[in-house]
Amino acid sequence: MNINRIFCIGRNYAEHVKELGNEPDASCVVFMKPPSCVVPVGRPIVLPRGRGPVHHEAELVVRLSGGGADVAPEQALRHVGHLTLGLDLTLRELQNELKKKGAPWELCKAFDGSAPLGDWVRYEGQDVQALEFSCTVGGTLRQRGNTRDMLFPVARQIHILSKTWRLADGDLIYTGTPAGVGPLLPGDRVALESAAIGRFEWTCE
């Protein structure tokens, strides 16, 4: 399935906002990754070397099947076509340096391999604000979240993005991560799982 653009929402779960020492914001953090960052299931995650820790951020990912501009929140979920889970991989120390400088985040967020992406399940009216999901590394639970805890629900994310971009088929949204982020190391097996979506696993190199 084609990927048009990858939008990512930051600071969307209160406990994760706290663990990184950030303040919750009245507006959500938005950034992008190029589609070339995607690592499908079955490919290894090649971790960047010599640039500090690479953190996993487990996230619900939605794929839009349409969209347009200025989408009303009440109409927004009509444009969701598919769901999956993904990892918003982050070079955390570099991100902290970039934050201090007020510099953009591409170097820490949009590197090659930074967007592992599970297989799609069709969106058929599932409650996207009641999905439990987890991230385990080497069988150890690192993150467990429920989309009910989002500060900016999916419909609102679509509404917000559509005020800046005319949304289209193939646009993805990485919808933010719950608490428990931490480093990945070469040799790690990282798995994302949700009863409603599936289980997806990658090996880190």
* Residues lying near Mg ion in the complex (CB under 5 A): 57, 88, 177
Closest by Cα among 44, 39, 33 to 4: 33
Question: What is the closest distance, in whole angstroms, from the C-beta atom of residue 32 to Mg ion in the complex?
Answer: 12
Q: Which two tokens stand for residue 148?
A: 């009910």
d(CA 98, CA 106): 10
Residue nearest to Mg ion (CB): 88
Question: What is the closest distance, in whole angstroms, from the C-beta atom of residue 14 to Mg ion in the complex?
Answer: 14
Q: Could you identify the residue written with the tokens 């969307």?
A: 12
Burial class (CB within 10 angstroms; exposed 0-12, middle 13-18, buried 19+) of 93: middle
Closest by Cα among 59, 89, 62, 71 to 192: 59
Q: Could you identify the residue written with the tokens 């971009």?
A: 165
Question: What is the closest distance, in whole angstroms, from the C-beta atom of residue 147 to Mg ion in the complex?
Answer: 14
Whether residue 9 contacts residue 153, with contact meaning beta carbons closer than 8 Å, is answered with no
Question: What is the closest distance, in whole angstroms, from the C-beta atom of residue 24 to Mg ion in the complex?
Answer: 15
- CB within 8 Å of 165: residues ≥ 6 apart: 5, 7, 69, 171
Question: What is the closest distance, in whole angstroms, from the C-beta atom of residue 174 to Mg ion in the complex?
Answer: 6
